[in-house]
Amino acid sequence: MQKPLNQEELKEFLDSKVAQYNNPRFIESDPIQIPHQFSEKEDIEIAGFLTATISWGNRKSIITNANKMMAMLDHSPYDFIKNHSITDLEKLKSFVHRTFNGEDFIQFIKSLNHIYTCHNGMESLFSKHLEEFSTQNAIHQFKKHFFEMDHLPRTQKHISDPLKNSAAKRINMFLRWMVRNDNTGVDFGIWKHISPTQLSCPLDVHSGNVARSLGLLNRSQNDAKALSELDKSLRILDVKDPVKYDFALFGLGVFEGFSKS
């Protein structure tokens, strides 16, 4: 058993891992490469949102299927969402990624059209419901508005709700992509009305296990309560940009198989 790191040593260790993984080489094997195919704000955020939505399971499969999504949207996601016809939606029915199927995809296109038409876009909607150090109520409210139109009940499961004790890993990852301006070309920083201080770490099995190994997290479940505990630990290390440590926790877990013991 290694000697536990004190806070200064822990910060130094994790900062070094952020520097190691928060760089353009990270993009090559990560789903964030999909929104990096675009240059317009709306295309980036829509591609990011749809990619994050299906980001569970094998990473190669996620990237392959997210690329299929973009092809089905004619590589112009915002234009497709704003101007699609009923006939255009028919071709989406064949899509499948695990439990996210073509009917879910069509519903997401319809709901995104509603968000851009009635709520001035995703950034505007998320920004209305922020709290000082949290986006979790904003995610809850976003889900409510996303499904306030006629929708398939089965599709609701594909957007998590932190107020129902979900860690909401995928949507927190999407918010990291949009909000953080890391000056390295990985995260986009195109959303200006949300501060990095308000973001939460995308908590999954990898980041959770590493966080527990390092004493940043005690709760055994990867749920909203664990996320709140982890967020507090990371804000002690860097209150202005706590979610940069997602790169360290994820990199240690996925690429290094890290365990302190």
Closest CA to 83 of 113, 50, 61, 103: 113
Q: How many CA atoms lie within 13 A of 84 on its CB side?
A: 24
Residue 121 DSSP SS3? coil
Q: Are 208 and 219 in contact (CB under 8 A)?
A: no
Which tokens go with 73? 């949207």
Query: pLDDT truncated to tens, each residue of the chain (261 aa)?
Result: 456 788 899 999 999 999 999 999 999 999 999 999 999 999 999 999 999 999 998 999 999 999 999 999 999 999 999 999 999 999 999 999 999 999 999 999 999 999 999 999 999 999 998 988 889 999 999 999 999 999 999 999 999 999 999 999 999 999 999 999 988 999 999 999 999 999 999 999 999 999 999 999 999 999 999 999 999 999 999 999 999 999 999 999 988 888 655
β-pair partners for 97? 100
For residues 54 and 118, what is the distance between their CA atoms, to the nearest angstrom? Answer: 25
Q: State the pTM of this model.
A: 0.95
For residues 195 and 243, what is the distance between their CA atoms, to the nearest angstrom? Answer: 11
Which tokens go with 116? 């851009």
Residue 156 DSSP SS3? helix
Residues in the chain: 261
